[in-house]
Structures are given as C-alpha cells and as structure tokens.
Amino acid sequence: MARLRVAIFTGNYVHIKDGVSLTLNRLVRHLNSRDVETLVFGPGIKDKAIEPAGRFIEVPSVPPPGRPEYQVSLFLPEVHKLELEDFRPDIIHIATPDILGLIALNYARRHGIPVLSSYHTHFPSYLKYYNFGFLEPLLWKYLLWFYGHCKYVVSPSESMNAYLVRKGIPREKIGLWTRGIESDLFSPEKRDESYRAKLGFEKDDVVVSFISRLVWEKNLETFVKATDIARKKNAKVKVMVGGDGPVMDELKQLMPDAVFTGYQFGEDLAKVYAASDLFFFPSESETFGNVTLEAMSSGVPALVADAVGSKSLVIDGETGYILPPHDAEAFAVKILELAGDEEARRSMATNARKHALSYDWEAIMDGLINDYERVVALK
C-alpha cells in the first residue's frame, strides 16, 4: 500500500521542455519509485515536448495571445473532478498559481485536503518586460491570498525564500525545495576541442555562453550589450548562444557574429556547456537557475545577476561573479578580466564544479516527500 497519494496541478508538464516541466517529471518518477501514488493535472498539447511521467490528465487549455508556445488552462471538466475524487489525494501539490491552480486550491479547501505549493516561476518579474509593471502590486495581492491558503510553500533557493518573506508570506510557512544536478552528464570531461573547432572557435578563444530559453525576460538585452562591449576590446572573446525561443531571429540580427547552437538536450547540451569558458546569465526571473548549476557542474565560471535564485548558487569571486542585473559595463569588465587571466578562470572552474557536486537529486526529492508527510500530519 502506498504511503501517500499526491495530486499535482501544474501550468506546464509536457508542452515546453523547461526547468519546471523537467523538475516535475523527475519528481513524479522519484515519487513512484518511493511507492508514492501520483496524479498530475496540466495543459495538454498534441505534439508533446516531453513524454509525461506517471498518470497525466490533460485539461482544456489555449495559447495566450502572442505566445503560441505556451498553454493556459481554462477549467477542470467534471469528468476530471470525478477522477480526482476517486484518487482521494492525501495532499495536493500546486506548482502554478494560475486558473487551474486556483481551482485545485478551492477544491482542497472544500474537501479539507492540505496544500503544498512550489514557487517555480517568478511571475511578477516578467511584467516589466511586457509593459505591465504597473500590475505587479495587484499580482502580489493575489499571490499573497493564494499562498496564504496553502499549508506550506517551497521555493528552490534561500534568496527566493527571503524575498517571499519580505513580500509578506510568514517564514514558518516557507521551506526549501532546491534542485539537483546530473553531475556525470554535465561534466568538464565533456569538453571537446574538436567540437569547439567545428563551431568555429580557435583554441585560445574565450567563449562566453548564454544557454536558456530565448525570451526577453531572461534579460537578454544586458547579455547583448555586455558581450558587444567586451568583444570590441578583446577580439578573442567569442559569443555562443544555446537554446531556442521566440526572439531567436531578433538575437541573430543583433549578434551577427555569435554562434547559435539551437536547442540541445542530453549529451549534446553537455557538450555545449563544456565548450564554454564563461557562462553569462543576467536573468532576474529565475527562482533557482538550473542552467547556472549545469554550467558550474560543467566546470564553467558563471557571471550572474544579483537577483533571487542565481545569487544563491554562485559564490562571488570564487565560482564566478554576481553583478547588478542591468549593468552591462560591469559584466563586460568581468568578462574582460577573466578573458585575460587563464589561471583565474581555471581556479573558478574547479571551484564551480566542486560546489555543484553538493546538489544531489535523490536527497532533494526525498526531502520533499518528508515535507509532504509533515504537512499531511498537520491536517
């Protein structure tokens, strides 16, 4: 007999292969391996980016205006509510405070089921990139109400937790559910000089990479400006962009000399990271920063924004640098400093790899199961 029955509600499980969907699918596989029953509800799509782990129920959804790659849940059909009732969850895990998440929260309140919510995406930080910054206070009013009705809220980093406390969520209701790393996959051993040469880089080039989904809310503007400044002062600084997204064509126009690898996965992605000499990720919208940890595990120093998530991963001056998010000049200075100091890059690379090895997936997932059990016991 299973120890627990967990119903998971998410805004993304199969339609985009990103940190949220990959983490949740990994979670479900781990829960099932620990004899925990799961039932996942989320938007469906015909051409799935990920084969769903566990039992997955697709709810009606539509793409939002101007972003056809995303899906927004609309409602939970009665037939799915019956499936949820038959499942009889001990706890409901809500990963996204969207319409579906709100439906799940209200269902849990009516039926006396405890709710744990995981804070994956820092939605308020997205608004300014779409000229909706004025809505941030209203969004936080809703989020505080939403999380106020959850028994427990977990985020991936201590800096994110501190931010949530400052916003008004009680500290005793907040826990840590960090992320792990596949250290055998993302490893300095995957560096391949012949692969670098195939991409057009010379052995003494210093390759600065950005590897993530290509959307403006990743603060790509700072990346473009800083690398342009650095390249004008040191011709050996080269730029590599890994990933795909709606602004790919715009970036190619802005960065005609950059190498674009496109979306990569598995061993191919590991080779892209390892082909880098510096990883540059100025995003302010991360709650953790999986890509930063993958780069560090690959033995690549990271230059990141002084923002929640990233600053919990990077040790400033040891595994990379933490800098003001929109200060392109400051990022350029550090790129040039490290480009001209191979010994410093090697030292940081060693430190970055060592630090990344402390993030063990199995222990992290078991920790969340412990949180489930504790929340259920509090019911």
pLDDT in tens, 71-103: 889 899 999 999 999 999 999 999 999 999 999
C-beta of residue 332 within 8 angstroms of C-beta of residue 229: yes
The tens digit of pLDDT for each residue in 290-323 reads 899 999 999 999 999 998 878 889 999 999 999 9
pLDDT of residue 128: 63
Position 157 pLDDT exceeds 90: no
CA angle at residue 215 from 209 to 219, to 5 degrees?
Answer: 65
In the chain the domains, ranked by start, together with CATH numbers, are 5-180+360-377 (3.40.50.2000), 188-356 (3.40.50.2000)
The tens digit of pLDDT for each residue in 97-141 reads 999 999 999 999 999 999 999 987 665 565 565 666 666 788 889
pLDDT of residue 269: 97
Report the distance separating Cα 16 and Cα 159, nearest Å: 26
Name the strands in the sheet holding 115-118, side by side, starting at the edge strand that comes first in the sequence: 56-59, 37-43, 5-9, 91-94, 115-118, 152-155, 174-176
Distances (CA, A) of 75 to 9, 39, 86, 106, 225: 12, 17, 19, 13, 42
152-155 vs 115-118, strand pairing mode: parallel
pLDDT of residue 316: 97
pLDDT of residue 15: 86
> Is 0.85 surpassed by the pTM of this model?
no
pLDDT of residue 181: 92
Report the distance separating Cα 170 and Cα 102, nearest Å: 20
pLDDT of residue 120: 76
What is the pLDDT averaged over residues 146-167? Answer: 92
pLDDT band at 378 (very low <50, low <70, confident <90, very high): confident
The tens digit of pLDDT for each residue in 159-209 reads 889 989 999 999 999 999 998 999 999 999 999 999 999 999 999 999 999
What is the pLDDT averaged over residues 223-249? Answer: 97
Position 10 pLDDT exceeds 60: yes
C-beta of residue 158 within 8 angstroms of C-beta of residue 249: no
pLDDT band at 1 (very low <50, low <70, confident <90, very high): very low
pLDDT of residue 125: 61
Report the distance separating Cα 285 and Cα 19, nearest Å: 12
What is the pLDDT averaged over residues 352-372? Answer: 94
pLDDT band at 240 (very low <50, low <70, confident <90, very high): very high
The tens digit of pLDDT for each residue in 18-40 reads 888 999 999 999 999 999 999 99
What mean pLDDT is reported for the chain? Answer: 92
